[in-house]
Structure 1
Amino acid sequence: MLKQTVLDLMRVTGAFAPFRVANRSKVLILTYHRFSAAEADHKTSAQAFADHLQYLTEHYRILPLGQIADCIATGKTLPQGVAALTIDDGYQDFYDVAYPLLLKHRVPATLFVATDFVDRKCWLWTDKMRYLTAHTAAAELDVTINERSVKAAFTTARSRHKAANRVNALLKTLPNEQKEEALKQMATTLGVLLPAAPPAEYGAITWQQAREMDNEGIEVASHTVTHPILPNTTNEQLRYEMTASRARLEEELGHQVSLFCYPNGRQDARVQQATAQAGYRCAVTNQHGMNTLGTPLLGLQRVAPEPDLSHFVQSTSGFEEIKSVLRNGWYRRLAAPTTTAATVPQLFTETINQA
């Protein structure tokens, strides 16, 4: 409670403004997933998102990700204080809650969708475990995956969700087929029948909605076909996830699609190579940080903000990055034998620029 009070005070007194200004030459890319009309765990509420958009429009120039990618690719100078909004997965709550607010504030965004999810052919697999823990009559969970165990008591809705996330973290280490088999076994163990298609709570947008949003300035882009952890796929699976999703999007939208988002941000050299070979010119990760003209286009970093405004202002300002650089670099340089009182200002400037 005290920490939140201090954070709120820092926001209202403008304490984060110098950090935002220090990072104005970098590109801020934000990432969101789920939305809700009212406050709810693990989702961004309509009010919180409206507050975010209000703050962003007052302090940043918000551009489509595709335009930013063009500038980085050509070496063209970007305006100061640039930001982009990205939303992963393509849940229906984006269309219902976030999309109207983006239109109201006239803010562009990029929505990354898994095409089989929109086609109602699959779940987003991480939701399967959340569904299982939410609907089981079992009192606890005791499972071992990859020689690592998860034990949890189901006492509240929050404890059930937390247990699902712990299991999902282990499932992400498995090859795709083993992951799906493990989910089937857990459904049997927990005594829950998984519906063939996700229920409304976990449902996707429609293609009609995708086309509508695409025509209104929301870039609809690729998040693979089935949302697998790409480094865990075979070369054949990897090519399919990359190329088939792009082809399906272009079929439905009627234009070229060249933006990509790695599911769960997971990627490696092989995955990046496949991304380029599939014809994508830009891809975003879940690696935390801001971007410069030197950031690889197939490895753009993002910031995942917390819903409340004070945390949002802190995370978007680059405060944490600068604090980390100062902690790791500033004090060492300050203690160097060659440092004098006359060189301290220059050292500070150089350290800030490295953040």
Structure 2
Amino acid sequence: MGFLDRVTNKRAMLAQGLAATGAARALEALGGRRAAVFTYHRVAEPGEGNPYYDNVVSATPEGFRAQMAMVRDRFRVVGPEDLIDDHDDERPRAVVTFDDGYRDNFDAALPILDELGVPATFFIPTDHLERPRLPWWDHLAYIVKSSKLDRFEVERAPGDPRPIVVERADGDRSAAVMTLIRPVLTGEVADRDAFLQRLEAAARVDVDSPALGRELFMTWEHLRKLVDAGHTIGSHAHGHVALGSLDDRSARRELALSRTILEAAVKRPVRTVAYPYGWPGAVSDRTFRLASDVGYRIGFTSFEGIVRPGFDPLAVPRLNVGCGDTTAMLRSRAALWGAFGRSWL
């Protein structure tokens, strides 16, 4: 068992203890007026059967069912704009959100949501539906997991004397994937498309990104069926780029174009946005202002936290759900944020 597994187990045990002793209920009573926004990406089985990036899997179908039952029982589940318009605080509120538009949102999550009567909001990067392809993180993981090589090297940039060494340890590719994910996220790799091409060559893997993207993500027809079932479609900008890294004109276009395309596709107003990546630096006060300028009423970040009275509707915090999170951990995290303004889980 690795270090991260031990930490996750300790967190799960602590959360279970809070629930079993009644402490979680007491913390919830201390929380006052609040709302929790839960962020999911994929609902699937991680591991050997998943050829893509495992860290994007938020829950297994079994785990997701248990979490949604808890959310339904402990919260009043509302739509995103209800955070602004609905002031009935008899029960704490919750919003369930999905980022990126993965196909398993429709195939695996939707039946559970509808069975339990839980509405959700799906944030869509429109360029991924207009031009299906693998996003860089899944493309990268697919290469590493598909390679027959146990070790290879790839240049960060042409001529860079510091190649990234990728090694498979005892058949496990997860550490090798993270070896490549980190330098991309930290900006050490400037041209991601060129880097992926070098990675394919080094790993000796050919990737049909458009064909795989069509299988991995939802279609326009899926979105229309989600809306017909009573769920909400929101924007995840157009090209899934960090809006804070763009100039005003480019960021405005990302936000406005996505909204225009989605409204034409689903025949509904689109007034909600989840900013791609959504952490500090990927978004800023300028991003929030631009989102308001192009007509969004409420915007969701990846800032960790819950929603309290007086919140900025264009900078809403969320609780990101990971595959190691148990139902008790989600409940306890929301309760700790409500009571103390932070969480240790």
TM-score range, shorter chain: 0.7 to 0.9
Q: 1:316 aligns with which of 317, 329, 334?
A: 334
1:155 equivalenced with 2:169 (yes/no):
yes
Q: 1:276 aligns with which of 292, 296, 299?
A: 292
- Name the counterpart of 1:102: 113
CA distance in 2, matches of 1:23, 1:144: 50
Q: 1:32 aligns with which of 35, 40, 61?
A: 40
CA distance in 1, matches of 2:341, 2:299: 27
Q: Which amino acid aligns with 1:16?
A: A
CA distance in 2, matches of 1:201, 1:230: 25
Of 262-271 and 247-256, more deviation after overlay is shown by: 262-271
Of 215-224 and 120-129, more deviation after overlay is shown by: 120-129
* Unmatched 5+ stretches in structure 1: 328-355
The within-5 A match list for 1:1-355 is 3=10, 4-36=12-44, 42=55, 43=57, 44-71=59-86, 76=87, 78-140=89-151, 142-143=153-154, 145=156, 150-155=164-169, 159-174=172-187, 178-199=191-212, 203-265=216-278, 266-306=282-322, 307-318=325-336, 322=340, 324=342
State the 1:324 CA deviation: 5.0
CA distance in 1, matches of 2:108, 2:136: 23
1:299 and 1:324, CA in 2 relative to 1: closer, same or farther beyond 3 A? closer
1:321 and 1:19, CA in 2 relative to 1: closer, same or farther beyond 3 A? closer
State the 1:122 CA deviation: 3.2
Deviations 1:163-200, CA, capped at 9 Å, x for gaps = 33443343234499722222222222222222141526
Q: Quick one: percent identity of the two aligned structures?
A: 21
CA distance in 1, matches of 2:248, 2:233: 25
Q: Is the CA contact (8 Å cut-off) linking 1:259 and 1:281 kept in structure 2?
A: yes
SS at match of 2:81: helix
Deviations 1:271-309, CA, capped at 9 Å, x for gaps = 222222221111101110011122211110000234322
Q: Would you tell me which structure has more helix in proportion to its own residues?
A: 1
Instruction: State the Cα RMSD in Å.
Output: 3.0
TM-score scaled to structure 1, two decimals?
A: 0.80
1:38 and 1:241, CA in 2 relative to 1: closer, same or farther beyond 3 A? closer
Q: Which amino acid aligns with 2:124?
A: V
Paired positions, count? 321
- Name the counterpart of 2:3: none
CA distance in 2, matches of 1:29, 1:80: 14
CA distance in 1, matches of 2:337, 2:320: 14
Which protein is bigger by CA-based radius of gyration? 1
* Unmatched 5+ stretches in structure 2: 1-5
Q: Is the CA contact (8 Å cut-off) linking 1:176 and 1:233 kept in structure 2?
A: no
Q: Which amino acid aligns with 2:228?
A: N
Q: Is the CA contact (8 Å cut-off) linking 1:125 and 1:227 kept in structure 2?
A: no
CA distance in 1, matches of 2:220, 2:137: 22
CA distance in 2, matches of 1:252, 1:132: 33
Deviations 1:76-118, CA, capped at 9 Å, x for gaps = 4644311110111110001011111110111111100111222
1:176 and 1:292, CA in 2 relative to 1: closer, same or farther beyond 3 A? farther
State the 1:202 CA deviation: 6.3
Deviations 1:102-140, CA, capped at 9 Å, x for gaps = 101111111001112223433322211111111122323
Of 110-119 and 186-195, more deviation after overlay is shown by: 186-195
CA distance in 2, matches of 1:189, 1:320: 49
Q: Which amino acid aligns with 2:169?
A: T
State the 1:56 CA deviation: 1.4
Q: Which amino acid aligns with 2:127?
A: D
CA distance in 2, matches of 1:52, 1:208: 27
CA distance in 2, matches of 1:152, 1:22: 48
TM-score scaled to structure 2, two decimals?
A: 0.82
SS at match of 1:111: strand
Q: Which amino acid aligns with 2:113?
A: L
SS at match of 2:38: strand
Q: Which amino acid aligns with 2:257?
A: A
1:88 and 1:162, CA in 2 relative to 1: closer, same or farther beyond 3 A? farther
SS at match of 1:137: coil
State the 1:261 CA deviation: 0.6
1:323 and 1:287, CA in 2 relative to 1: closer, same or farther beyond 3 A? closer
Higher relative CO (CA 8 A, sep ≥ 6), structure 1 or 2? 2
